[in-house]
């Protein structure tokens, strides 16, 4: 393993995103026109009237003009903002409580031993809450109810930071080379997900300790099945699975989704980092290169042949999928749904379309990657849960092209169409799905600034796209939908499906906000002028639409927090409609080194669950007074326990209003 210049796992993951693997980044003619005609600057220009109509002022710009300071519009968010800053603790708006619900090492299964960070074992970790909680999904109990005081929470565990988890490993570089077989197995048990049953008692959420639904899913030993068009394909067959349909475990489970029938979708994101070795089978070389395999950032392959591509060249093809889990049946086998394509899936948020079919949006989180959506062939059956068992095996995956005139096309990733044929290396639909990125390249999809969460809002029919950042976009790669070179701050797009039809192949897009400091002209941010000094943010990553239809954003600035915003990550409310459209408001802030994940509301809007991921990890060299990389013995914070013998622990936090009212009221 090579020494790395990074001081933490999180910084390495961020740097991975800094290595674009998409070779097809030539601006199109439309992009070039857009570049020359910046959407705002263009109105002063002298090109044709028809184009001018298409490039008229954005809604935000119109809203900003309409927002007369003498007649301030009413905010949909009633809370008082906290101050931007960074310290060792978390903070929430006045009048709210923020309490830890479950932390790394807490019991998930009833028999789990007490957490002992000095003597962690594989057996203990298999029963305990995993590391780096990300997505949080809420399934009301009883199923089909609208209960806001009893549920299953489905929580993803994305990856591990062994330098903060295990004593004696020192900082990141050393930890990597010193990982033992047991440490690797504990890490495998830390990936995946946890299902917990929780109930509100006397106004406080509590774990149901002996829940029959409690479950740990991991990379270590959870059997999974591949289904859909690519299942069983030769390219998914390995020495231990000649059928190409059975996989052990899931990796790097980032964001996700909950289906209308109450199953949990786990997105496999940066799976490439778990593989080492030199490729023995040249047939997969282009595929692996396009996805950055082998990433060589975990030692697992030294002890487990399936993570060494010299021994199992096709094993990486069995990751990078969306995994469907039935939390209501703890014995069920999670299923990797190949119809949804293989890439670095950030999430999988869904909506029932007007015609009853399910539409799932998914971003591919790397610089210059694409937006995807899947439309099921069949309608969702809300009366008979079992009827949806194979719904995600049949349907059409497509990828987005965003034209400079604000129009949007969804290009079908279907074998035999538009050049996706044998002469271009796609012999079957399995090839299209396994090599999704390369198929999308061929179709001319639009390379975006790191697509993370994509969330439909059923209240207004729009779809919100989080684009985290892209420090590698150069001036000659700017386009209308990714309008800033060296974009350290990210932006948010709003998509409008044609005719309110999420299955439509056309639509419109526009920029909702361009993140970063609006007071710094060099940033070229775009906010509603009503946004306060705390209310703007940088690097939107996840988001949630609350039961009132309001949008909430969580951020991940990585190690670049100081330059991007000067404060820690957190949750911001963001107005999407009316004169205050594009106004942000700071609600919650994470401890130093953490990123904010998983915002999730109860159906009544009175509880907000958030996931604090990797406290003490990212960018601690810029943390005033600490100014060094963290380790187990010397972390930048010991949140949330603040005990000298306890390391920092990723945790799910429950936020509620002190008076029991609506969040954000």
Query: Where on the chain is the footprint of ligand FEO (CB under 6 A)?
Result: 158, 254, 269, 346, 365, 452
Q: Is the Cβ of residue 130 or residue 228 nearer to ligand FEO in the bound state?
A: 130
Quote the least distance from Cβ 269 to ligand FEO, whole Å: 5
Please state, in angstroms and rounded to a whole number, the distance separating the CA atoms of residues 264 and 387: 16
Q: How far is the CB of 316 from ligand FEO (least distance, A)?
A: 18
Q: What is the DSSP string of 131-169?
A: SSEEEEEEEESSTTS--SSEEEEEEEE----HHHHSTT-
Residues 216/156, Cβ–Cβ less than 8 Å: no
Q: For the beta carbon of residue 51, count every other beta carbon within 10 angstroms.
A: 15
Structural tokens at position 60 = 């935000």
Cβ proximity to ligand FEO, 393 vs 569, nearer residue: 569
For Ca ion, the binding residues (CB under 5 A) are 452, 541, 556
The residue count for the chain: 665
The nearest distance, CB 97 to ligand FEO, in angstroms, is 27
What's the min distance (Å) between Cβ of 81 and Ca ion? Answer: 23
569 interface partner picked from ligand FEO, Ca ion, none, CB below 5 to 8 A per type:
none
Q: How far is the CB of 417 from Ca ion (least distance, A)?
A: 31
Give dist(CA 14, CA 306) in Å, integer. Answer: 25
Q: What residue 158 binds from ligand FEO, Ca ion, none (CB within 5 to 8 A, per partner kind)?
A: ligand FEO
Q: Is 395 left (phi over 0), alpha (psi -120 to 50) or beta?
A: left
List the one residue out of 274, 257, 383 whose CA is nearest residue 325: 257
Pairing relationship of beta strands 322-325 and 133-140 according to DSSP bridges: unpaired
CB of 595 to Ca ion, least distance (A): 6
173 binds, among ligand FEO, Ca ion, none (CB under 5 to 8 A by kind): none
Of 393 and 556, CB closest to Ca ion: 556
Please identify, using beta-carbon distances, which residue of 60 and 267 lies nearer to ligand FEO: 267
Q: Which is nearer to ligand FEO, 141 or 467 (CB)?
A: 467
Least distance (Å) between residue 161 CB and ligand FEO: 13
Sorted by sequence, the CB contacts under 8 Å of residue 577 that are 6+ apart come out as 460
The neighbour count for residue 449, using CB atoms within 10 Å, is: 25
Contact 109, 209 (CB under 8 A): no
Check: CB of residue 27 under 8 Å from CB of residue 35: yes
**3-class state of residue 50 by DSSP:** helix
Toward Ca ion, which CB reaches closer, 413 or 594? Answer: 594
Please report the beta strands in 403-485, taking only residues with DSSP state E, as ranges in sequence order. 407-412, 448-449, 451-456, 463-467
Query: Are the C-beta atoms of 297 and 280 separated by less than 8 Å?
Result: no
* Nearest distance in Å: CB 319, Ca ion: 17
Residue 48's region, left for phi above 0, alpha for psi from -120 to 50, else beta, is beta
Closest to ligand FEO by CB, 415 or 559: 559
Contact partner at residue 324 from Ca ion, ligand FEO, none, CB < 5 to 8 Å by partner kind:
none
CB of 453 to Ca ion, least distance (A): 7
Measured from each CB, the residue nearest to Ca ion is: 556
Smaller CB separation from ligand FEO, 33 or 293: 293
Residue 68 neighbours by CB distance under 10 Å: 9
Token digits for 1?
Answer: 């393993």
Among Ca ion, ligand FEO, none, what does residue 284 contact (CB within 5–8 Å per kind)?
none
Per the CB < 8 A criterion, the answer to whether 197 and 141 are in contact is yes
Q: Which is nearer to Ca ion, 104 or 205 (CB)?
A: 104
């Amino acid at each position: 393993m090579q020494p790395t210049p990074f001081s933490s796992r999180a910084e390495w993951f961020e740097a991975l995103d800094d290595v674009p693997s998409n070779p097809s980044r030539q601006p199109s003619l439309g992009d070039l026109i857009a570049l020359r005609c910046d959407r705002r600057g263009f109105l002063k220009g002298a090109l044709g009237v028809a184009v001018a109509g298409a490039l008229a002022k954005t809604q935000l710009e119109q809203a900003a003009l309409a927002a007369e300071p003498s007649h301030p519009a009413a905010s949909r968010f009633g809370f008082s903002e906290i101050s931007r800053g960074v310290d060792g603790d978390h903070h929430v708006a006045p009048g709210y409580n923020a309490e830890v619900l479950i932390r790394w090492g807490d019991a998930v299964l009833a028999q789990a031993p007490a957490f002992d960070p000095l003597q962690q074992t594989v057996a203990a970790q298999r029963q305990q809450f995993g590391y780096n909680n990300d997505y949080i999904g809420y399934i009301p109990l009883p199923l089909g109810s609208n209960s806001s005081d009893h549920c299953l929470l489905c929580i993803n565990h994305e990856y591990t930071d062994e330098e903060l988890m295990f004593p004696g490993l020192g900082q990141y570089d050393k930890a990597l080379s010193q990982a033992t077989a047991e440490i690797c197995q504990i890490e495998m048990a830390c990936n995946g997900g946890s299902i917990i049953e929780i109930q509100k008692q006397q106004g406080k959420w509590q774990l149901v300790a002996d829940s029959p639904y409690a479950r740990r899913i991991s990379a270590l030993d959870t059997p999974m099945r591949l289904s859909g068009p690519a299942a069983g394909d030769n390219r998914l067959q390995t020495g231990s699975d000649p059928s190409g349909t059975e996989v052990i475990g899931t990796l790097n489970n980032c964001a996700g989704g909950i289906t209308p029938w109450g199953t949990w979708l786990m997105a496999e994101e940066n799976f490439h980092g778990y593989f080492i070795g030199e490729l023995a089978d040249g047939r997969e070389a282009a595929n692996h290169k396009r996805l950055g395999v082998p990433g060589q950032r975990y030692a697992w392959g030294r002890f487990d042949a399936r993570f060494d591509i010299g021994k199992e060249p096709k094993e990486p093809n069995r990751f990078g999928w969306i995994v469907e889990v039935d939390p209501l049946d703890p014995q069920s086998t999670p299923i990797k749904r190949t119809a949804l394509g293989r890439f670095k899936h950030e999430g999988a948020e869904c909506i029932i379309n007007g015609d009853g079919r399910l539409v799932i949006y998914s971003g591919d989180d790397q610089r210059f990657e694409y937006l995807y959506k899947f439309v099921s062939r069949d309608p969702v059956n809300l009366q008979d849960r079992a009827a949806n068992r194979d719904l995600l095996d049949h349907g059409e995956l497509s990828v987005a092209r965003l034209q400079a005139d604000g129009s949007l096309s969804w290009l079908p990733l279907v074998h035999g169409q538009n050049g996706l044929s044998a002469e271009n290396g796609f012999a079957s639909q399995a090839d299209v799905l396994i090599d999704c990125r390369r198929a999308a390249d061929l179709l001319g999809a639009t390379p975006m600034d790191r697509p993370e969460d994509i969330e439909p809002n059923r209240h207004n029919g729009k779809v919100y796209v989080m684009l985290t950042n892209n420090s590698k976009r150069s001036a000659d790669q700017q386009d209308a939908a990714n309008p800033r070179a060296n974009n350290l701050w990210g932006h948010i797009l709003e998509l409008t499906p044609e005719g309110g039809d999420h299955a439509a192949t056309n639509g419109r897009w526009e920029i909702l906000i361009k993140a970063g400091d609006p007071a710094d002209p060099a940033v070229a941010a775009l906010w509603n002028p009503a946004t306060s000094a705390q209310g703007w943010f940088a690097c939107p990553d996840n988001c949630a639409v609350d039961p009132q239809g309001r949008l909430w954003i969580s951020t991940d600035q990585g190690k670049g927090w100081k330059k991007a915003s000067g404060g820690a990550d957190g949750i911001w409310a963001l107005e999407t409609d009316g004169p205050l459209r594009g106004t942000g408001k700071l609600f919650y802030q994470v401890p130093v080194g953490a990123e904010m994940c998983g915002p999730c509301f109860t159906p009544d809007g009175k509880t907000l669950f958030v996931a604090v991921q990797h406290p003490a990890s990212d960018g601690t060299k810029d943390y005033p007074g600490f100014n060094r990389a963290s380790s187990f013995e010397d972390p930048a914070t010991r949140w949330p326990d603040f005990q000298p013998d306890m390391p920092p622990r990723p945790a799910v936090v429950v936020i509620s209003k002190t008076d029991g009212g609506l969040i954000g009221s």
